[in-house]
């Protein structure tokens, strides 16, 4: 709408024969148009990212979770590598669904247990032992990284 | 965790943009666009039979250790999928599933090796399944040998492809893991083959529709030929090497039976002349 009005304004100035005003209107029109073009470029980029984002997210998560599985070789590592391998075998939509429904709660639980396992007070409680606490209550070998 | 939250948003995006279809559309769009590089057209011809090259490579690497299950599977896959291309188009996922099971088995073996190392017979089965590259990991050896001695026992100098990975749990003397960090090293070859198979499966989606592929191949060939002819009319010396390569590939595709007969005659000439080889090659 704005560019259309500017274009009309420019035509009016040309019809009137006011050259200076016409040039000024043209400049304003050009500036506005370039701004709109920039916006459309951004929109195009956004559409492109949206199109390939699932693909990128999937591969980056495969790499990260796979590395984590080999870094921490325990029962949860087996679960992590199972997810990585399932992501190769199952269709993408199913993998995304599994990740959203199962992996986020599992990761949350794992994170909480590792965090609580650092506390000497929590480690002594029976409920922590029953939830498999000793698996998580470990000293960090790479504390900065972890 | 953040990655998994990203996956939640990607779930909706994947519904909107079906990944296999998106990649296929983008590839075909670039393929039929005359302004795009000719390499896209070349890639179309190359990708069509790339699975044969990959399977042939695996076949050649696995030939030295044919008594292992993974190598047997690669050899069978090469023979069957070379013979029946349409079967490959429908069942390429089987190889991914097989490799996924292999890697999962290797990881499980890394966690529960105590269940196997005390029984040499079981260790032989584990080695045959490809879950470990060495069956010298008996409990006695772990207790008595040093890690370097075990590494020497397990190293096979004749093969560079299947150099055995040396697990870090060898240093554990009391049977308890001293550390959970990097206890089981992955077999990088299997991980690499899994990624390649996954890429091949993705490429396979481009060629699932036989009719569409035949029509596209004809259109691509016409585009390249037109390009070549317009270049010649302009008096320029032809530098369209893609045209030459594709003509060779087309020739091979149409006359592959003659290539096979030629190879057969060559092997007949090279093989020992007796009644068995005559019947086999006849």
CA dist., res. B178 & res. A15, Å (int): 88
Backbone phi, psi, residue A130, to 5°: -65, -30
Q: What is the pLDDT of residue B43?
A: 84
Of the candidates B5, B103, B177, the beta carbon closest to that of A85 is on B103
Q: What is the pLDDT of residue B178?
A: 57
Final residue of a structural domain among B161, B191, B208: B208
The answer on B192 and B157 residing in a single domain is: yes
Identify the closest residue of chain A to B107 by CA–CA distance.
A78
Cβ contacts (< 8 Å) between B100 and chain A: which residues?
Answer: 85-86, 88-89
On whether residue A107 sits in a domain, the answer given is yes
Number of domains making up chain A: 1
pTM for this model (two decimals)? 0.72
The answer on B122 and B254 residing in a single domain is: no
The answer on B194 and B97 residing in a single domain is: yes
Query: So what's the ipTM on this one?
Result: 0.74
On whether residue A138 sits in a domain, the answer given is yes
CA dist., res. B149 & res. B195, Å (int): 33
How many A×B Cβ pairs under 8 Å? 111
On whether residue B150 sits in a domain, the answer given is yes
Please answer yes or no on whether B7 and A57 come within 8 Å at the CB atom. yes
On whether residue A114 sits in a domain, the answer given is yes
On whether residue A30 sits in a domain, the answer given is no
Please answer yes or no on whether A81 and B185 come within 8 Å at the CB atom. no
The answer on B154 and B118 residing in a single domain is: yes
> Could you tell me how many residues make up chain A?
146
The answer on B143 and B245 residing in a single domain is: no
Distance from CA of A142 to the nearest CA of B (A): 10
CA dist., res. A5 & res. B231, Å (int): 48
Please answer yes or no on whether B19 and A104 come within 8 Å at the CB atom. no
The answer on B214 and B201 residing in a single domain is: no
The answer on B173 and B83 residing in a single domain is: yes
Please answer yes or no on whether B100 and A93 come within 8 Å at the CB atom. no
Please answer yes or no on whether A61 and B7 come within 8 Å at the CB atom. yes
Final residue of a structural domain among B208, B224, B245: B208
First-last CA distance in chain A: 54
Of the candidates A53, A72, A107, the beta carbon closest to that of B181 is on A72
Question: What domain range is B246 assigned to?
Answer: 19-36+209-282
**Mutation for A interface: B7, B103, B187, most A CBs within 10 A:** B7
Cβ contacts (< 8 Å) between B14 and chain A: which residues?
Answer: 54, 92-93, 96
Nearest to B161 by CA among B182, B199, B190: B190
The answer on B115 and B24 residing in a single domain is: no
Final residue of a structural domain among B176, B193, B208: B208
Interface of A with B (CB under 8 A): 50-55, 57-58, 60-61, 64-66, 69-75, 77-78, 81-82, 85-86, 88-89, 92-93, 96-97, 99-100, 103-104, 107-108, 111, 138, 141-142
Question: What domain range is A135 assigned to?
Answer: 92-146
Q: What is the pLDDT of residue B113?
A: 77
Nearest to B208 by CA among B47, B73, B38, B1: B47
Q: What is the pLDDT of residue A104?
A: 86
Cβ contacts (< 8 Å) between B110 and chain A: which residues?
Answer: 73
Q: What is the pLDDT of residue A140?
A: 66
* Residues of B (54-83) whose Cβ lies below 8 Å from A: none
On whether residue B9 sits in a domain, the answer given is no
* Residues of B (100-129) whose Cβ lies below 8 Å from A: 100-101, 103-104, 107-108, 110-111
Q: Does B22 reach chain A within 8 Å, measured CB to CB?
A: yes
Q: Does B240 reach chain A within 8 Å, measured CB to CB?
A: no
- One digit per residue, the tens of pLDDT, for chain B of length 282 reads 777 777 777 776 666 667 777 788 888 888 888 777 778 888 888 888 888 888 888 877 776 777 788 888 888 888 888 778 888 888 889 999 999 999 999 888 888 877 887 777 787 888 888 887 776 766 677 777 776 777 677 765 555 455 555 565 555 555 555 566 666 667 788 889 999 999 998 888 888 888 888 888 888 888 877 777 776 665 555 556 767 777 777 777 666 667 666 766 666 666 666 666 666 555
On whether residue B242 sits in a domain, the answer given is yes
Region of B271 please: left (phi>0), alpha (psi -120 to 50) or beta. beta
Please answer yes or no on whether B104 and A51 come within 8 Å at the CB atom. no
Cβ contacts (< 8 Å) between B10 and chain A: which residues?
Answer: 53-54, 57-58, 96
Number of domains making up chain B: 2
The answer on B257 and B178 residing in a single domain is: no
CA dist., res. B146 & res. B102, Å (int): 28
A119 three-state secondary structure: coil
Q: What is the pLDDT of residue B180?
A: 66
Q: What is the pLDDT of residue B240?
A: 64
Distance from CA of B185 to the nearest CA of A (A): 7
Nearest to B4 by CA among A99, A43, A42: A99
The answer on B256 and B237 residing in a single domain is: yes
- The stretches in chain A having pLDDT less than 70 are 1-11, 13-14, 16-22, 25-26, 28-41, 132-146
Q: What is the dihedral of CA B172, B173, B178, B183, to 10 degrees?
A: 10
Distance from CA of A69 to the nearest CA of B (A): 9
Please answer yes or no on whether B4 and A81 come within 8 Å at the CB atom. no
On whether residue B12 sits in a domain, the answer given is no
The answer on B160 and B94 residing in a single domain is: yes
A72 three-state secondary structure: strand
The answer on B248 and B197 residing in a single domain is: no
On whether residue B3 sits in a domain, the answer given is no
Q: What is the 3-state secondary structure (H, E, C) of chain B?
A: CHHHHHHHHHHHHHHHCCHHHHHHHHHHHHHCCCCCCHHHHHHHHHHHCHHHHHHHHHHHHHHHHCCCHHHHHHHHHHHHHHHCHHHHHHHCHHHHHHHHHHHHHHHHHHHCCHHHHCCHHHHHHHHHHCCCCCCCCCHHHHHHCCHHHHHHHHCCCCCCCCCCCCCHHHHCCCCCCCCCECCCCCCHHHHHHHHHHHHHHHHHHHHCCHHHHHHHHHHHHHHHHHHHHHHHHCCCCCCCHHHHHHHHHHHHHHCHHHHHHHHHHHHHHHCCCCHHHHHHHC
């Amino acid at each position: 709408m704005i560019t259309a009005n500017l274009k009309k304004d420019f035509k009016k100035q040309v019809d009137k024969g006011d050259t200076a005003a016409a040039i000024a209107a043209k400049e304003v029109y050009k500036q506005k148009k370039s701004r709109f073009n920039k916006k459309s470029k951004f929109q195009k980029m956004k559409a492109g990212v949206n199109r390939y984002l699932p693909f990128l997210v999937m591969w980056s998560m495969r790499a990260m979770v796979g590395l984590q599985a080999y870094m921490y070789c325990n029962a949860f590592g087996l679960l992590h590598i199972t997810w990585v391998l399932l992501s190769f075998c199952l269709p993408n939509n199913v993998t995304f669904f599994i990740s959203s429904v199962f992996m986020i709660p599992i990761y949350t639980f794992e994170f909480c247990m590792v965090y609580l396992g650092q506390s000497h007070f929590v480690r002594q409680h029976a409920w922590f032992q029953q939830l498999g606490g000793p698996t998580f209550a470990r000293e960090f070998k790479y504390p900065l990284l972890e | 965790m953040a990655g998994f939250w990203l996956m939640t948003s990607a779930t909706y995006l994947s519904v909107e943009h079906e990944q296999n279809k998106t990649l296929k559309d983008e590839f075909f769009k670039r393929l039929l666009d005359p302004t795009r590089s000719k390499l896209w057209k070349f890639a179309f011809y190359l990708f069509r039979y790339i699975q044969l090259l990959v399977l042939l490579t695996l076949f050649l690497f696995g030939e030295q250790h044919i008594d292992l299950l993974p190598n047997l599977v690669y050899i069978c896959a090469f023979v069957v999928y070379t013979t029946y291309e349409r079967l490959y188009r429908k069942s390429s996922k089987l190889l991914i599933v097989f490799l996924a099971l292999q890697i999962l088995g290797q990881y499980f073996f890394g966690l529960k090796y105590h269940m196997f190392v005390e029984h040499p017979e079981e260790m032989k089965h584990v080695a045959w399944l490809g879950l470990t590259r060495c069956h010298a990991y008996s409990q006695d050896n772990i207790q008595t040998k040093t890690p370097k001695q075990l590494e020497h026992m397990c190293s096979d100098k004749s093969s560079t492809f299947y150099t055995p990975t040396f697990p870090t749990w060898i240093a554990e003397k009391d049977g308890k893991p001293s550390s959970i960090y990097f206890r089981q090293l992955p077999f990088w070859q299997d991980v690499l083959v899994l990624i390649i198979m996954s890429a091949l499966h993705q490429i396979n989606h481009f060629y699932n529709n036989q009719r569409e592929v035949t029509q596209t191949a004809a259109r691509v060939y016409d585009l390249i030929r037109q390009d070549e002819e317009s270049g010649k009319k302009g008096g320029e010396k032809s530098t369209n090497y893609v045209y030459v390569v594709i003509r060779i590939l087309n020739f091979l595709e149409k006359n592959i039976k003659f290539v096979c007969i030629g190879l057969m005659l060559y092997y007949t000439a090279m093989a020992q002349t007796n009644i068995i080889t005559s019947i086999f090659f006849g």
